[in-house]
Chain A
Amino acid sequence: MRYAAPATVEEAQALLADDTGAQVFAGATDLVPQMRAGRPAPSLLVDLKGIDRLTAVTHEDGRWTIGAATPTAELTRNEAFTAAFPGLSEGAGLIGSDQIQNRSSLGGNLANASPAADSVPALIANDGQAVIATADGTRTVPAAEVATGPGRTSLADGEFIVEFTFADPPAGTGDAYLRMIPRTEMDIAIVGAAVRVTVDGDAISDATVVLGAVAPTAVVVPDAAAALVGTSVADGALDDAAATALAEAAEAACDPIDDKRGTIAYRRRVAGVLARRAAAIAVERARNGA
Protein backbone atom coordinates (compact mmCIF):
# COMPACT_ATOMS: atom_id res chain seq x y z
CA MET A 1 0.00 0.00 0.00
CA ARG A 2 1.36 3.39 -0.99
CA TYR A 3 0.49 6.80 0.38
CA ALA A 4 0.24 10.07 -1.50
CA ALA A 5 -0.65 13.55 -0.34
CA PRO A 6 -1.48 15.58 -3.44
CA ALA A 7 -1.43 19.37 -3.05
CA THR A 8 -4.12 20.15 -5.61
CA VAL A 9 -7.43 18.75 -6.82
CA GLU A 10 -5.86 18.17 -10.25
CA GLU A 11 -3.00 16.16 -8.78
CA ALA A 12 -5.49 14.00 -6.88
CA GLN A 13 -7.53 13.49 -10.04
CA ALA A 14 -4.40 12.37 -11.90
CA LEU A 15 -3.40 9.93 -9.14
CA LEU A 16 -6.88 8.43 -9.14
CA ALA A 17 -6.93 8.15 -12.92
CA ASP A 18 -3.55 6.36 -12.90
CA ASP A 19 -4.49 3.74 -10.35
CA THR A 20 -7.95 2.21 -10.27
CA GLY A 21 -7.12 0.62 -6.90
CA ALA A 22 -6.59 4.02 -5.28
CA GLN A 23 -8.89 5.30 -2.58
CA VAL A 24 -9.23 8.79 -1.15
CA PHE A 25 -9.47 9.44 2.57
CA ALA A 26 -9.67 12.35 4.99
CA GLY A 27 -9.73 11.29 8.65
CA ALA A 28 -9.55 7.54 7.97
CA THR A 29 -11.87 7.09 10.97
CA ASP A 30 -14.05 4.82 8.85
CA LEU A 31 -11.34 3.59 6.50
CA VAL A 32 -8.91 2.18 9.09
CA PRO A 33 -11.53 0.29 11.13
CA GLN A 34 -12.92 -1.15 7.88
CA MET A 35 -9.46 -2.28 6.77
CA ARG A 36 -8.92 -3.79 10.21
CA ALA A 37 -12.18 -5.67 9.84
CA GLY A 38 -10.87 -7.26 6.68
CA ARG A 39 -11.97 -4.99 3.89
CA PRO A 40 -9.38 -5.09 1.08
CA ALA A 41 -6.79 -2.34 1.42
CA PRO A 42 -6.43 0.08 -1.51
CA SER A 43 -3.22 -0.01 -3.52
CA LEU A 44 -2.84 3.73 -3.04
CA LEU A 45 -4.09 5.91 -0.21
CA VAL A 46 -4.83 9.41 -1.43
CA ASP A 47 -4.80 11.80 1.55
CA LEU A 48 -7.10 14.70 0.71
CA LYS A 49 -6.07 16.85 3.69
CA GLY A 50 -3.01 18.23 1.91
CA ILE A 51 -5.22 20.07 -0.59
CA ASP A 52 -5.96 23.55 0.79
CA ARG A 53 -9.38 23.72 -0.82
CA LEU A 54 -10.42 20.48 0.87
CA THR A 55 -9.90 21.91 4.36
CA ALA A 56 -10.95 25.53 3.72
CA VAL A 57 -14.02 27.04 5.39
CA THR A 58 -15.20 30.26 3.77
CA HIS A 59 -18.23 32.51 3.82
CA GLU A 60 -18.54 34.79 0.79
CA ASP A 61 -21.33 36.35 -1.22
CA GLY A 62 -24.08 34.69 0.78
CA ARG A 63 -22.65 31.17 0.56
CA TRP A 64 -20.71 28.97 2.91
CA THR A 65 -18.14 26.62 1.42
CA ILE A 66 -16.82 23.80 3.58
CA GLY A 67 -13.88 21.73 2.34
CA ALA A 68 -14.98 18.09 2.33
CA ALA A 69 -11.96 16.94 4.38
CA THR A 70 -12.22 19.64 7.08
CA PRO A 71 -12.08 18.02 10.55
CA THR A 72 -15.54 18.34 12.10
CA ALA A 73 -13.92 19.92 15.19
CA GLU A 74 -13.16 22.94 12.99
CA LEU A 75 -16.88 23.31 12.26
CA THR A 76 -18.06 23.01 15.84
CA ARG A 77 -15.37 25.49 16.93
CA ASN A 78 -16.40 27.94 14.19
CA GLU A 79 -18.86 30.28 15.91
CA ALA A 80 -20.17 31.96 12.77
CA PHE A 81 -20.78 28.63 11.06
CA THR A 82 -22.44 27.22 14.17
CA ALA A 83 -24.65 30.31 14.46
CA ALA A 84 -25.75 29.93 10.83
CA PHE A 85 -26.31 26.14 10.93
CA PRO A 86 -26.66 25.10 14.58
CA GLY A 87 -28.25 21.76 13.70
CA LEU A 88 -25.54 20.83 11.21
CA SER A 89 -22.86 21.83 13.70
CA GLU A 90 -24.65 19.70 16.30
CA GLY A 91 -24.78 16.69 13.99
CA ALA A 92 -21.12 17.04 13.00
CA GLY A 93 -20.23 17.47 16.68
CA LEU A 94 -21.82 14.16 17.63
CA ILE A 95 -19.39 12.11 15.55
CA GLY A 96 -17.28 10.07 17.96
CA SER A 97 -14.96 11.43 20.64
CA ASP A 98 -12.77 14.54 20.63
CA GLN A 99 -10.02 12.37 19.14
CA ILE A 100 -12.33 11.36 16.29
CA GLN A 101 -13.63 14.94 15.87
CA ASN A 102 -10.11 16.14 15.13
CA ARG A 103 -10.06 13.81 12.10
CA SER A 104 -13.61 13.04 10.96
CA SER A 105 -14.93 14.96 7.95
CA LEU A 106 -18.29 15.72 6.36
CA GLY A 107 -17.02 14.22 3.10
CA GLY A 108 -16.10 10.95 4.82
CA ASN A 109 -19.32 10.86 6.81
CA LEU A 110 -21.37 11.21 3.63
CA ALA A 111 -19.25 9.06 1.29
CA ASN A 112 -18.99 6.24 3.81
CA ALA A 113 -22.75 6.04 3.30
CA SER A 114 -23.75 4.71 6.68
CA PRO A 115 -27.52 5.25 7.10
CA ALA A 116 -26.73 6.43 10.65
CA ALA A 117 -24.17 9.09 9.68
CA ASP A 118 -24.84 11.94 12.09
CA SER A 119 -23.97 14.96 9.94
CA VAL A 120 -25.93 13.82 6.91
CA PRO A 121 -29.56 14.61 7.85
CA ALA A 122 -28.73 18.26 8.61
CA LEU A 123 -26.43 18.45 5.58
CA ILE A 124 -29.46 17.55 3.48
CA ALA A 125 -31.95 19.65 5.48
CA ASN A 126 -29.79 22.71 4.76
CA ASP A 127 -29.76 21.90 1.06
CA GLY A 128 -26.02 21.22 1.05
CA GLN A 129 -24.60 20.95 -2.45
CA ALA A 130 -21.69 18.58 -3.04
CA VAL A 131 -19.03 19.77 -5.47
CA ILE A 132 -17.55 16.60 -6.92
CA ALA A 133 -14.24 16.29 -8.74
CA THR A 134 -14.78 14.11 -11.81
CA ALA A 135 -12.16 12.65 -14.15
CA ASP A 136 -11.69 15.97 -15.89
CA GLY A 137 -13.58 18.68 -14.03
CA THR A 138 -16.24 19.11 -11.40
CA ARG A 139 -19.97 18.61 -11.12
CA THR A 140 -22.33 19.74 -8.38
CA VAL A 141 -25.17 17.66 -6.99
CA PRO A 142 -27.40 17.95 -3.94
CA ALA A 143 -25.78 16.16 -0.98
CA ALA A 144 -28.97 14.08 -0.80
CA GLU A 145 -27.99 12.37 -4.07
CA VAL A 146 -24.57 11.11 -2.96
CA ALA A 147 -25.44 8.11 -0.76
CA THR A 148 -27.58 5.51 -2.52
CA GLY A 149 -27.64 2.70 0.06
CA PRO A 150 -25.59 1.33 2.95
CA GLY A 151 -21.96 1.68 1.84
CA ARG A 152 -22.99 2.69 -1.68
CA THR A 153 -22.75 6.08 -3.40
CA SER A 154 -23.41 7.67 -6.76
CA LEU A 155 -19.72 8.65 -7.04
CA ALA A 156 -18.05 7.10 -10.07
CA ASP A 157 -14.59 5.51 -9.76
CA GLY A 158 -12.03 8.23 -9.28
CA GLU A 159 -14.57 10.85 -8.24
CA PHE A 160 -14.35 12.57 -4.88
CA ILE A 161 -16.16 15.34 -3.02
CA VAL A 162 -14.19 18.60 -3.02
CA GLU A 163 -16.47 20.73 -0.87
CA PHE A 164 -19.99 21.39 0.27
CA THR A 165 -21.74 24.69 -0.30
CA PHE A 166 -24.73 26.16 1.51
CA ALA A 167 -26.71 29.30 0.82
CA ASP A 168 -27.09 31.58 3.84
CA PRO A 169 -30.32 30.52 5.52
CA PRO A 170 -33.15 33.03 4.92
CA ALA A 171 -34.00 35.36 7.83
CA GLY A 172 -36.09 33.60 10.46
CA THR A 173 -34.60 30.15 9.81
CA GLY A 174 -33.49 27.61 12.39
CA ASP A 175 -32.36 24.00 12.22
CA ALA A 176 -31.77 21.25 14.77
CA TYR A 177 -30.52 17.66 14.86
CA LEU A 178 -31.28 15.10 17.52
CA ARG A 179 -30.26 11.47 17.70
CA MET A 180 -31.14 8.55 19.90
CA ILE A 181 -28.31 6.33 21.10
CA PRO A 182 -28.31 3.70 23.83
CA ARG A 183 -25.40 5.43 25.64
CA THR A 184 -24.71 9.13 26.22
CA GLU A 185 -21.56 9.37 24.06
CA MET A 186 -19.70 7.34 21.46
CA ASP A 187 -22.45 5.26 19.93
CA ILE A 188 -24.24 4.75 16.62
CA ALA A 189 -27.61 6.43 16.16
CA ILE A 190 -30.73 4.27 16.30
CA VAL A 191 -32.64 7.23 14.90
CA GLY A 192 -31.52 10.70 13.84
CA ALA A 193 -33.78 13.61 12.95
CA ALA A 194 -32.90 16.97 11.39
CA VAL A 195 -35.50 19.67 10.98
CA ARG A 196 -35.12 23.08 9.42
CA VAL A 197 -37.90 25.67 9.50
CA THR A 198 -38.32 29.24 8.33
CA VAL A 199 -40.74 31.37 10.28
CA ASP A 200 -42.42 34.34 8.63
CA GLY A 201 -44.46 36.47 11.00
CA ASP A 202 -46.34 34.02 13.20
CA ALA A 203 -46.36 31.06 10.84
CA ILE A 204 -43.95 28.50 9.47
CA SER A 205 -43.38 29.38 5.84
CA ASP A 206 -40.92 26.63 4.91
CA ALA A 207 -39.74 23.36 6.43
CA THR A 208 -37.52 20.36 5.69
CA VAL A 209 -37.50 17.15 7.71
CA VAL A 210 -34.79 14.52 7.21
CA LEU A 211 -34.48 11.26 9.14
CA GLY A 212 -31.34 9.15 9.59
CA ALA A 213 -30.81 5.51 10.56
CA VAL A 214 -34.36 4.43 9.77
CA ALA A 215 -33.88 3.49 6.10
CA PRO A 216 -31.02 2.48 3.75
CA THR A 217 -30.11 6.17 3.35
CA ALA A 218 -31.13 9.36 5.11
CA VAL A 219 -34.71 10.13 4.02
CA VAL A 220 -36.29 13.46 3.25
CA VAL A 221 -39.90 13.41 4.49
CA PRO A 222 -41.96 15.93 2.49
CA ASP A 223 -45.20 14.93 4.26
CA ALA A 224 -43.67 15.79 7.61
CA ALA A 225 -42.53 19.15 6.28
CA ALA A 226 -45.98 19.79 4.81
CA ALA A 227 -47.50 19.13 8.24
CA LEU A 228 -45.55 22.13 9.53
CA VAL A 229 -45.85 24.66 6.71
CA GLY A 230 -48.58 27.24 7.28
CA THR A 231 -49.05 26.36 10.96
CA SER A 232 -48.89 29.01 13.63
CA VAL A 233 -46.06 29.46 16.09
CA ALA A 234 -47.68 32.55 17.57
CA ASP A 235 -47.49 31.07 21.09
CA GLY A 236 -43.77 30.66 20.63
CA ALA A 237 -44.15 26.94 20.21
CA LEU A 238 -45.18 24.37 17.67
CA ASP A 239 -48.93 23.92 17.22
CA ASP A 240 -50.01 20.63 18.85
CA ALA A 241 -51.95 19.30 15.89
CA ALA A 242 -49.06 20.16 13.56
CA ALA A 243 -46.59 18.39 15.84
CA THR A 244 -48.75 15.27 15.91
CA ALA A 245 -49.15 15.26 12.13
CA LEU A 246 -45.39 15.74 11.78
CA ALA A 247 -44.67 12.79 14.07
CA GLU A 248 -47.14 10.57 12.21
CA ALA A 249 -45.61 11.46 8.84
CA ALA A 250 -42.12 10.78 10.21
CA GLU A 251 -43.18 7.37 11.53
CA ALA A 252 -44.77 6.49 8.20
CA ALA A 253 -41.58 7.35 6.30
CA CYS A 254 -39.45 4.89 8.27
CA ASP A 255 -38.22 1.68 6.72
CA PRO A 256 -35.91 0.61 9.52
CA ILE A 257 -34.02 -2.56 10.35
CA ASP A 258 -34.47 -4.71 13.42
CA ASP A 259 -31.24 -5.21 15.31
CA LYS A 260 -29.88 -5.63 18.80
CA ARG A 261 -29.87 -1.87 19.29
CA GLY A 262 -33.50 -1.27 18.42
CA THR A 263 -36.58 -3.00 17.04
CA ILE A 264 -38.50 -1.71 14.03
CA ALA A 265 -41.43 -0.58 16.20
CA TYR A 266 -39.11 1.24 18.59
CA ARG A 267 -37.22 3.03 15.83
CA ARG A 268 -40.47 4.15 14.23
CA ARG A 269 -41.84 5.49 17.47
CA VAL A 270 -38.61 7.29 18.31
CA ALA A 271 -38.43 8.81 14.82
CA GLY A 272 -41.75 10.54 15.45
CA VAL A 273 -40.69 11.75 18.88
CA LEU A 274 -37.32 13.05 17.71
CA ALA A 275 -38.78 14.78 14.65
CA ARG A 276 -41.21 16.56 16.91
CA ARG A 277 -38.57 17.59 19.43
CA ALA A 278 -36.14 18.71 16.72
CA ALA A 279 -38.91 20.77 15.11
CA ALA A 280 -39.62 22.48 18.43
CA ILE A 281 -35.94 23.42 18.82
CA ALA A 282 -35.73 24.59 15.20
CA VAL A 283 -38.78 26.82 15.71
CA GLU A 284 -37.29 28.30 18.85
CA ARG A 285 -34.02 29.02 17.02
CA ALA A 286 -35.86 30.46 14.03
CA ARG A 287 -37.76 32.86 16.28
CA ASN A 288 -34.71 33.86 18.27
CA GLY A 289 -32.70 34.47 15.14
CA ALA A 290 -35.49 36.35 13.37
Chain B
Amino acid sequence: MSNDATRRSRTHVSCTVNGDQVDFLADDGTSLLDALRDELDLTGAKEGCGTGDCGACTILVDGRINCSCLMFAPEAEGCEIVTVEGIAEGDHLHPLQQTFLEGAALQCGVCTPGFLVSAKALLDENPDPTETEIRYALAGNLCRCTGYDKIVRSVQEAAVQLRGASR
Protein backbone atom coordinates (compact mmCIF):
# COMPACT_ATOMS: atom_id res chain seq x y z
CA MET B 1 0.00 0.00 0.00
CA SER B 2 1.37 3.42 -0.77
CA ASN B 3 0.36 6.00 1.73
CA ASP B 4 2.36 9.19 1.31
CA ALA B 5 1.63 10.44 4.79
CA THR B 6 3.42 7.46 6.28
CA ARG B 7 6.61 7.85 4.25
CA ARG B 8 7.43 11.38 5.35
CA SER B 9 8.15 12.27 8.93
CA ARG B 10 7.08 15.90 8.55
CA THR B 11 3.39 16.36 8.00
CA HIS B 12 1.54 19.30 6.59
CA VAL B 13 -1.28 20.21 8.98
CA SER B 14 -4.23 22.35 8.09
CA CYS B 15 -6.69 23.49 10.75
CA THR B 16 -8.26 26.59 12.23
CA VAL B 17 -6.71 28.25 15.26
CA ASN B 18 -8.70 30.91 17.06
CA GLY B 19 -10.89 31.25 13.99
CA ASP B 20 -8.08 31.68 11.46
CA GLN B 21 -7.23 29.08 8.86
CA VAL B 22 -3.62 28.01 9.43
CA ASP B 23 -1.21 25.65 7.73
CA PHE B 24 2.02 24.42 9.22
CA LEU B 25 4.60 21.67 8.95
CA ALA B 26 5.36 19.61 12.00
CA ASP B 27 7.47 16.60 12.83
CA ASP B 28 5.12 13.67 13.28
CA GLY B 29 6.09 13.03 16.88
CA THR B 30 5.86 16.69 17.93
CA SER B 31 3.18 17.51 20.43
CA LEU B 32 0.49 19.90 19.33
CA LEU B 33 1.60 22.05 22.28
CA ASP B 34 5.10 22.41 20.83
CA ALA B 35 3.70 23.08 17.37
CA LEU B 36 1.44 25.84 18.69
CA ARG B 37 4.29 27.43 20.60
CA ASP B 38 7.17 26.94 18.16
CA GLU B 39 5.53 26.97 14.73
CA LEU B 40 2.61 29.32 15.38
CA ASP B 41 4.12 31.51 18.14
CA LEU B 42 1.11 30.95 20.35
CA THR B 43 2.89 30.70 23.67
CA GLY B 44 -0.16 31.03 25.90
CA ALA B 45 -0.51 27.30 26.46
CA LYS B 46 2.32 26.15 28.73
CA GLU B 47 4.08 22.89 29.38
CA GLY B 48 3.91 22.17 33.09
CA CYS B 49 4.37 18.42 33.00
CA GLY B 50 4.06 17.05 29.47
CA THR B 51 2.10 14.06 30.76
CA GLY B 52 -1.53 15.16 31.07
CA ASP B 53 -1.44 15.86 34.79
CA CYS B 54 -1.33 19.64 35.17
CA GLY B 55 -3.57 21.12 32.48
CA ALA B 56 -1.30 24.12 31.78
CA CYS B 57 -1.43 23.12 28.10
CA THR B 58 -5.24 23.00 27.92
CA ILE B 59 -6.79 24.04 24.61
CA LEU B 60 -10.18 23.52 22.99
CA VAL B 61 -10.31 21.00 20.17
CA ASP B 62 -13.66 21.08 18.39
CA GLY B 63 -15.13 22.71 21.49
CA ARG B 64 -13.79 20.20 24.03
CA ILE B 65 -10.88 20.71 26.43
CA ASN B 66 -7.80 18.67 25.68
CA CYS B 67 -4.23 18.51 26.92
CA SER B 68 -2.24 19.68 23.91
CA CYS B 69 0.83 17.97 25.37
CA LEU B 70 -0.87 14.59 24.78
CA MET B 71 -1.80 15.32 21.16
CA PHE B 72 0.51 14.77 18.25
CA ALA B 73 0.55 17.79 15.94
CA PRO B 74 -0.80 15.88 12.91
CA GLU B 75 -3.92 15.04 14.93
CA ALA B 76 -4.98 18.68 14.57
CA GLU B 77 -5.71 18.17 10.86
CA GLY B 78 -9.16 19.52 10.10
CA CYS B 79 -9.85 20.52 13.72
CA GLU B 80 -11.05 23.78 15.21
CA ILE B 81 -8.48 24.78 17.81
CA VAL B 82 -8.96 27.53 20.37
CA THR B 83 -6.14 28.63 22.66
CA VAL B 84 -6.17 31.18 25.46
CA GLU B 85 -5.14 33.79 22.87
CA GLY B 86 -8.55 33.29 21.25
CA ILE B 87 -10.83 33.91 24.19
CA ALA B 88 -10.63 37.70 24.38
CA GLU B 89 -12.69 39.72 21.89
CA GLY B 90 -10.02 41.91 20.32
CA ASP B 91 -8.85 44.31 23.05
CA HIS B 92 -11.76 43.33 25.23
CA LEU B 93 -10.80 40.77 27.84
CA HIS B 94 -13.17 37.85 28.39
CA PRO B 95 -15.05 38.21 31.71
CA LEU B 96 -13.01 35.29 33.06
CA GLN B 97 -9.77 37.09 32.25
CA GLN B 98 -11.09 40.23 33.93
CA THR B 99 -12.31 38.45 37.07
CA PHE B 100 -9.04 36.47 37.34
CA LEU B 101 -7.16 39.78 37.30
CA GLU B 102 -9.46 41.51 39.74
CA GLY B 103 -9.77 38.48 42.01
CA ALA B 104 -6.01 37.84 42.16
CA ALA B 105 -6.57 34.34 40.81
CA LEU B 106 -2.96 34.09 39.68
CA GLN B 107 0.48 34.54 41.08
CA CYS B 108 3.18 33.13 38.79
CA GLY B 109 0.58 32.71 36.03
CA VAL B 110 1.89 29.49 34.50
CA CYS B 111 -1.36 27.66 35.17
CA THR B 112 -3.62 30.56 34.18
CA PRO B 113 -4.04 29.96 30.43
CA GLY B 114 -5.13 26.41 31.14
CA PHE B 115 -7.54 27.44 33.88
CA LEU B 116 -9.07 30.10 31.63
CA VAL B 117 -9.68 27.66 28.80
CA SER B 118 -11.13 24.98 31.11
CA ALA B 119 -13.32 27.53 32.89
CA LYS B 120 -14.56 28.94 29.59
CA ALA B 121 -15.50 25.44 28.40
CA LEU B 122 -17.37 24.88 31.66
CA LEU B 123 -19.31 28.15 31.50
CA ASP B 124 -20.13 27.69 27.81
CA GLU B 125 -21.81 24.40 28.71
CA ASN B 126 -23.10 25.21 32.19
CA PRO B 127 -23.68 28.93 32.80
CA ASP B 128 -24.62 28.43 36.45
CA PRO B 129 -22.33 25.79 37.96
CA THR B 130 -22.20 25.03 41.67
CA GLU B 131 -18.90 25.39 43.49
CA THR B 132 -18.54 21.61 43.46
CA GLU B 133 -19.14 21.50 39.72
CA ILE B 134 -16.51 24.17 39.22
CA ARG B 135 -13.99 22.30 41.35
CA TYR B 136 -14.57 19.04 39.45
CA ALA B 137 -14.43 20.79 36.08
CA LEU B 138 -11.08 22.31 37.05
CA ALA B 139 -9.68 19.12 38.60
CA GLY B 140 -7.45 18.61 35.56
CA ASN B 141 -5.74 21.96 36.15
CA LEU B 142 -3.13 22.26 38.87
CA CYS B 143 -1.94 25.47 40.52
CA ARG B 144 1.09 25.53 42.79
CA CYS B 145 0.58 29.13 43.93
CA THR B 146 -2.94 30.28 44.68
CA GLY B 147 -4.55 27.52 46.71
CA TYR B 148 -7.42 27.45 44.18
CA ASP B 149 -9.92 29.43 46.24
CA LYS B 150 -9.42 32.69 44.36
CA ILE B 151 -9.64 30.82 41.07
CA VAL B 152 -12.97 29.27 42.04
CA ARG B 153 -14.32 32.63 43.28
CA SER B 154 -13.24 34.32 40.05
CA VAL B 155 -15.02 31.69 37.96
CA GLN B 156 -18.16 32.18 40.06
CA GLU B 157 -17.97 35.95 39.57
CA ALA B 158 -17.46 35.58 35.82
CA ALA B 159 -20.45 33.24 35.67
CA VAL B 160 -22.60 35.88 37.37
CA GLN B 161 -21.41 38.55 34.93
CA LEU B 162 -21.93 36.34 31.89
CA ARG B 163 -25.44 35.44 32.99
CA GLY B 164 -26.18 39.14 33.54
CA ALA B 165 -24.87 39.96 30.08
CA SER B 166 -26.96 37.31 28.37
CA ARG B 167 -30.18 38.33 30.08
Binding site for B on A (CB under 8 A): 1-6, 11, 14-15, 18, 27-29, 32-33, 36-37, 41, 44-45, 47, 49, 73, 96-100, 102-103, 185-186
B140 within 8 A of A: yes
B29 CB, min distance to chain A CBs, angstroms = 4
A47 CB, min distance to chain B CBs, angstroms = 6
Stretch among B1-9, B88-96, B105-113, B159-167 lining the A interface: B1-9
Stretch among B16-24, B34-42, B62-70, B145-153 lining the A interface: B62-70
Q: Are B136 and A102 in contact (CB under 8 A)?
A: no
Count, chain B residues at interface, CB 8 A: 37
Tell me the bound Cα distance from A18 to B7 in angstroms: 12
B129 CB, min distance to chain A CBs, angstroms = 12
Tell me the bound Cα distance from A86 to B77 in angstroms: 34
Contacts of B70 in A (CB 8 A): 27-29, 32, 103
Please, which residue of chain B has its CB at the minimum distance from the CB of A19?
B6
Q: Are B3 and A3 in contact (CB under 8 A)?
A: no
Which of A28, A29, A32, A45 touches B28 (beta carbons < 8 Å)?
A45
Tell me the bound Cα distance from A156 to B65 in angstroms: 34
Tell me the bound Cα distance from A89 to B3 in angstroms: 37
Q: Are A99 and B66 in contact (CB under 8 A)?
A: yes
Q: Is the interface of B mostly helix, strand, loop or mixed?
A: mixed
Tell me the bound Cα distance from A102 to B50 in angstroms: 17
Which of A11, A15, A41, A100 touches B52 (beta carbons < 8 Å)?
A100
Given A36-B51, A99-B58, A102-B61, 11 other A-B residues pairs in contact with their CB atoms under 8 A = A3-B6, A3-B29, A3-B75, A11-B3, A49-B75, A97-B140, A99-B118, A100-B52, A102-B64, A185-B136, A185-B139
B11 within 8 A of A: yes
Please, which residue of chain B has its CB at the minimum distance from the CB of A25?
B72
Q: Is the interface of A mostly helix, strand, loop or mixed?
A: mixed
Q: Are B140 and A1 in contact (CB under 8 A)?
A: no
Please, which residue of chain A has its CB at the minimum distance from the CB of B63?
A102
Tell me the bound Cα distance from A98 to B7 in angstroms: 34
Tell me the bound Cα distance from A27 to B1 in angstroms: 26
Given contacts A102-B64, A186-B139, are A97 and B72 in contact (CB under 8 A)? Answer: no
B154 CB, min distance to chain A CBs, angstroms = 19
Q: Are A32 and B51 in contact (CB under 8 A)?
A: yes
Q: Are B65 and A102 in contact (CB under 8 A)?
A: yes
Contacts of B66 in A (CB 8 A): 99, 102-103
Contacts of A41 in B (CB 8 A): 29
Contacts of B6 in A (CB 8 A): 2-4, 15, 44
Q: Are B3 and A4 in contact (CB under 8 A)?
A: yes
Q: Are A3 and B65 in contact (CB under 8 A)?
A: no
Tell me the bound Cα distance from A97 to B67 in angstroms: 10
Tell me the bound Cα distance from A71 to B55 in angstroms: 18
A96 CB, min distance to chain B CBs, angstroms = 7
Q: Are A96 and B29 in contact (CB under 8 A)?
A: no
Tell me the bound Cα distance from A1 to B75 in angstroms: 14
B15 within 8 A of A: no
Q: Are A47 and B75 in contact (CB under 8 A)?
A: yes
Q: Are B67 and A2 in contact (CB under 8 A)?
A: no
Q: Are B1 and A99 in contact (CB under 8 A)?
A: no
B87 within 8 A of A: no
A39 CB, min distance to chain B CBs, angstroms = 12
A100 CB, min distance to chain B CBs, angstroms = 6
B44 within 8 A of A: no
6 A-B residue pairs with Cβ-Cβ distance under 8 Å, sorted by A, are A3-B75, A5-B5, A29-B52, A37-B51, A98-B118, A103-B71
